[in-house]
Amino acid sequence: MALVGKKAPSFKASAVINGEEIVEDFSLDQYLGKKHVVFFFYPKDFTFVCPTELHAFQEKLAEFESRGCAVVGCSTDTEQSHWGWLQLDKKQGGIKGVTYPIVADTTKVISLNFDTLFGDYDVNDNGDIIATGPMIAFRGLFLIDKEGTVRHQLINDLPLGRNVDEALRMVDALQYFETKGEVCPANWSKGKDGLKDTHAGVADYLTKH
């Protein structure tokens, strides 16, 4: 399911913020009208590839924040699992030092609505998820603008780690388009020129949707 061009699914869930504090009713709605958001899913706490990604996002966090962009992670583990992993040093396979929010999608509904849920399950007529085997999230990433609209999405299979620099480049590209009204060609990066819209109304249409 492509979410690009659509409103990001709304949710409220428990999360760990600032690397130590568990909060209830965390929502991306808090960023509406204020910040762009990179919202990413990862499969599982206490694994091998996942901590490399979470640390990579932390290493670039200041760059995202300097662009007015929040970074939020999410997996189907519990908030207690997130908290425990956050207390473990990097040398021990932990993610101590990560400060951006990590959402606990324990009901799997967030992953389902973002179409990143992997595993064995059915959905009944009431929309309830009926597990028939383990369920975790693919490596999904969504760039959401200040209006709450998804402008970019990427979903990798479980073994394939993401490039955080590419996520940052997409933030730059979106913000360049929003401020300049020019589109970004292949391999565009911050500091390069964009292309003026040669199709009347396209930039205006994209800005409004």
**Cβ–Cβ contacts within 10 Å for residue 46, how many?**
14
Check: CB of residue 72 under 8 Å from CB of residue 38: yes
If DSSP codes are grouped into helix, strand and coil, which group holds residue 106? coil
Beta-strand pair 117-123/129-137: antiparallel
Check: CB of residue 62 under 8 Å from CB of residue 70: no
If DSSP codes are grouped into helix, strand and coil, which group holds residue 121? strand
In the set 50, 69, 74, 184, the catalytic residue is 50
Whether 69 sits among the annotated catalytic residues: the reply is no
Interacting residues of 175 by C-beta distance below 8 A, sequence separation 6+ = 36, 67
Active site residues: 50
